[in-house]
A and B are shown apart, each in its own frame.
Chain A
Amino acid sequence: MKLLDLEIITPAMKVYEGKVHSVTIPGTVGSFQVLYNHAPILSTFEIGKIIIEDEKEVKHEYATSGGTVEVLNNKILVLAEAIEAKEEIDAERALESLKRAKERIASEKKEEIDLTRAEGSLQRAINRLKIVGHSN
């Protein structure tokens, strides 16, 4: 089985670099899986789950808050604003921010910018909890 090169970069650091069997990306139009010899693609992706199948065919799950992905000549470049491995997710913190975001959305004072921000953090929190398998 042939392998692809994967690079995941965030503004803070390089999160992943190595050979993989496949990567599943939560694309804006729909989730898709990249395997060997995938056609060149440039796509944005949303808040969701990235699944990497590494060279030993072990699956790793990551929570992401969206970004851009480029696939060219069996090289995958994932540019994500934020990404964390399933093992790194702090369920309690996610629960807290979920609560906070819900309160903010429910509160009277609604400025447009705050609302979009609260909705974003709500979605991110839900995503994190879903990935760790927490029932909220």
Chain B
Amino acid sequence: MATLRDIKGRISGIKSTQQITKAMKMVAAARLRRAQENALNARPYSKKITELLNNLLSIEKNIENDLIKEREFKNIAVIVVTSDRGLCGGFNMNIIRTVEDLLKGEYSDYVSGDNLELYCIGKKGADYFSKRFNKVPGNYSGIFSHLKFDFAAKLIADLKFKFLNHEIDKIVVVYNEFKSVVTQNVRIEQLLPIKPEITTEDNKLDNVEYIYEPDKSAIINSLLPKYLNTQMWKILLESYTAELGARMTAMDMATENAKELIRSLQLTYNKIRQASITTEIIEIVSGANSLKES
């Protein structure tokens, strides 16, 4: 049976852990606010560019651009977006499991044919897959602490180059979408070739006589890479926000658990203490009694 001193030691240990988890929760909460702001600031640009592109694509149907043209998928690249740090609940495991499912299920033919590459953003995914999978050409760790649009643009530039060179024929991204602070959704999204959402109803560009400079297709061709950049940027912001949300929730739960643990340990501690006091009293009383009798 645990002695009083053991229990006291455990309680103080849990208390300091609780302090750490509490602090981590606060830090995550503060960062989350900033990340949410960033995600919010990125929204108008991405919304406008998507709108413009979709409108243009629905009036200019026969566009010749390799970025949207469907072709036979010989080589596939999967971008795995995880976090750099742990202690954020099931955040990374959900992504890893989804990717594993993809590799074993839908893309198993590509894996066995050695036609699938993984690009890992975030240290956790990179650590996991670089040990288990031999085709991980892209490994990007430590980008979330100072997230920059340039990173998204550079990554897209590299991937686009490979895509246009027919080294890769399809690119999908697996990432966590920020639903709310407590929930994240794992999303699988096709990045390339671009799948435009053709809008049929109420097309603004159809009704207005625009001057196009240089011309419609040139504008579309210049918009497509920008659209890709913003997509990637949005995904990174989304994932980072989700990560912070997940960490905040996980740390909040850890703090609560610690609280519960301390409560029950304190109860056992009190019980044992009371028991030892009772035994002492019994000993004193019975000692006194035996003196009286003699």
Residues of A with Cβ closer than 8 Å to B?
A: 9-14, 27-29, 39-44, 67-68, 70, 72, 77, 79, 81, 113, 117
A44 with B222, Cβ < 8 A, contacts A11-B42, A72-B208, A113-B161 known: yes
Query: In whole angstroms, what is the CA distance A14 to B40 when docked?
Result: 11
Query: In whole angstroms, what is the CA distance A72 to B209 when docked?
Result: 10
Q: Are A41 and B210 in contact (CB under 8 A)?
A: yes
Contact pick for B211, options A42, A44, A68, CB 8 Å: A42
Interface size on B, residues (CB 8 A): 31
Q: Are A40 and B219 in contact (CB under 8 A)?
A: no
Chain A neighbourhood of B161, CB < 8 A: 113
Chain B neighbourhood of A81, CB < 8 A: 153, 226, 229
The main secondary structure of chain A at its interface with chain B is: strand
Least Cβ–Cβ distance between B189 and chain A, in angstroms:
18
| B49 within 8 A of partner (CB) | yes
Query: In whole angstroms, what is the CA distance A44 to B56 when docked?
Result: 13
| B45 within 8 A of partner (CB) | yes
Interface centre among B45, B48, B153, B223 (most CB of A within 10 A): B45
Contact pick for B52, options A12, A39, A68, CB 8 Å: A68
Q: Are B211 and A11 in contact (CB under 8 A)?
A: no
Query: In whole angstroms, what is the CA distance A77 to B55 when docked?
Result: 16
Q: Are B45 and A79 in contact (CB under 8 A)?
A: yes
A9 with B218, Cβ < 8 A, contacts A27-B213, A28-B213, A81-B229 known: no
Chain B neighbourhood of A14, CB < 8 A: 41, 44
Chain B neighbourhood of A28, CB < 8 A: 213-214, 218
A113 with B149, Cβ < 8 A, contacts A42-B213, A43-B213 known: no
Least Cβ–Cβ distance between A90 and chain B, in angstroms:
16
Least Cβ–Cβ distance between B253 and chain A, in angstroms:
33
Query: In whole angstroms, what is the CA distance A14 to B41 when docked?
Result: 7
Contact pick for B209, options A10, A11, A40, A117, CB 8 Å: A40
A42 with B219, Cβ < 8 A, contacts A11-B229, A11-B233 known: yes
User: What are 21 A-B pairs with beta-carbon distances under 8 A?
Assistant: A11-B45, A11-B46, A11-B233, A12-B38, A12-B42, A12-B149, A13-B41, A14-B41, A39-B211, A42-B56, A42-B212, A42-B213, A43-B213, A44-B218, A44-B222, A68-B49, A68-B52, A72-B210, A79-B226, A81-B153, A81-B226
Interface centre among A9, A11, A70 (most CB of B within 10 A): A11
Contact pick for B44, options A9, A43, A72, CB 8 Å: A9
Chain B neighbourhood of A79, CB < 8 A: 45, 48-49, 52, 226
Least Cβ–Cβ distance between A10 and chain B, in angstroms:
6
Task: Please name the residue on chain A nearest to B221 by beta carbon.
Answer: A44
| B157 within 8 A of partner (CB) | yes
Query: In whole angstroms, what is the CA distance A10 to B210 when docked?
Result: 23
Task: Please name the residue on chain B nearest to A25 by beta carbon.
Answer: B213
Chain B neighbourhood of A10, CB < 8 A: 45
| B184 within 8 A of partner (CB) | no
